[in-house]
Amino acid sequence: MNETKCDKISRKHTILKVIGITALTFLILVSIADAAQLADVPNSGSNNVSDLNKTIENDIKTQDKAIEINPQNSTAWTIKGIDFGLSGKSNEAIKAFDKAIEINPQYSDAWKNKGIALDYLNKSDEAIKAYDKAIEINPQDPIAWGDKGYALGNLGKSDEAIKAFDKVIEINKQDSMAWTGKGIALNDLNKSDEAIKAYDKAIEISPQNPMAWYNKGAALDNLNKTDESKKAYDKAIEINPQLKNLA
C-alpha cells in the first residue's frame, strides 16, 4: 500500500510525540533525583547509551538499598520506576509506581510517571486517568498537563489536547514543549497555518528544540511549501542527527 502525504505526516508526528514524552521523562527524573539528593543521574544529553544504561542500573541498586532500609520510601520506589521506564521495562515501572502510590496516594510524581509508562504501552486511556490524578493533587503541574495533552493527541482527541497544552501555557508561557504539542494537535486538525505559528513560538523560546523544527517541516510539507519544509527538516536533523531516518 502506498503511503499518502497525510499518512506520512501522521506517522512522523506519532514518532515525534514519543520523543517528546522521553524528554519529559528525563526532566521528571532530574527533578525527583534532585529532591532525593542523588549524586549521579542520567541526562537527556548523553550520547553514550552504554554509560547511560550502566548509570540506570547503578541507580536501581541505590534505590533498592534505600527500600531495604525503609520499605515505605515512596520516593525511592518512584525513582526505581523511572529507572525501569528509561530501561524500556514499562510493566516493571508501573509496579514500582503502584507501590509508591500504595504508600502515598497523594504522591503526584508517582501518578504522573505511571501515566508515562502506560503511554509507552499504548494505554493512553489509562495514562490519562493517571495524569488526571496527578493534576487533581497538583493542578499547577505543567508536565502532567503536557503529558495528558500528548496522550489525548494519541487518541485523536486533538481539541481536548489543545486545551491541555493551553493550560500548560497558562502556567508557563515559556514552555517550548507545550507550544510544540499544541502545534501537533492543530496540524492534526488540518490547521497547518496555526500549527506553524505554534511551532515558531516554540522555536523562539527554544531554538534548539528539534521536535518543533521537525513538526514545522511536516506542517509546511502539508501546505506544499517544499523548500521551507526542507529547511525546517534540515535544522531538526542538524540539532538531532537521529531524525535523519525519519526524513
66 CB-contact burial (10 Å; exposed 0-12 / middle 13-18 / buried 19+): middle
124, 154 contact by CB (below 8 A): yes
Summarize pLDDT for 123-175 with one digit per residue, the tens: 999 999 999 999 999 999 999 999 999 999 999 999 999 999 999 999 999 99
What is the model's pTM?
0.79
Whether the CA torsion 171, 176, 180, 186 is positive or negative: it is positive
Of 43-47, 63-67, 89-93, 140-144, the one with minimum mean pLDDT is 43-47
Number of H-type helices and E-type strands within the chain = 12, 0
164, 142 contact by CB (below 8 A): no
**Cα–Cα distance between 109 and 101 in angstroms, integer?**
9
116, 21 contact by CB (below 8 A): yes
